[in-house]
Amino acid sequence: MNADYQVRWTHTAESDLAEIIQYIMQNSPAAANEVFKKIKIKTENLALLPDRGRIVPELFSQGISLYKEIIIAPWRVMYRIVEKTVFILAVIDSRRNIEDVLLERLIRNNQ
């Protein structure tokens, strides 16, 4: 089966994933490896079915419907589809308030 889309990770999403893996690795390198593989496989599957994710509810309530997410518990992987490319934008712990996380990032990027 050929992929219809390319999946590309942004620097921010790569940093998110690296932080998650480093944190888990402190207690269990094996678990960190499993989490890494699980997230990479599920995101690579977006090349075949990019529309399978849901619109990010917090953004949709603000009238923004460009961003989708898949849940890989306990993480939310946010992405955007542009033409034939799926851009992985963030990997965020679902136990955190996503609005706070996005606001922190906007503030940090504007300093």
In a domain, 30, yes or no: yes
**Residue-level pLDDT at 61:** 87
**Residue-level pLDDT at 111:** 63
Q: What is the pLDDT along the chain (111 residues), one digit of tens a residue?
A: 567 999 999 999 999 999 999 999 999 999 999 999 999 999 999 999 999 999 999 888 889 899 999 999 999 999 999 999 999 999 998 888 777 787 787 777 666
Number of separate domains in the chain: 1
In a domain, 70, yes or no: yes
d(CA 78, CA 107): 19
In a domain, 56, yes or no: yes
Q: What's the CATH code of the domain at 14? A: 3.30.2310.20
Instruction: Give the position of tokens 């932080």.
Output: 19
**Residue-level pLDDT at 12:** 92
d(CA 76, CA 29): 22
In a domain, 1, yes or no: no
Closest CA to 88 of 32, 50, 38: 50
Overall pTM surpassing 0.85 (yes/no): yes
Token pair listed for 53: 């994710």
In a domain, 95, yes or no: yes
Q: Which domain holds residue 45?
A: 6-109
Strands (DSSP E) contained in 4-111 are 6-9, 54-55, 67-72, 75-82, 85-93
In a domain, 18, yes or no: yes
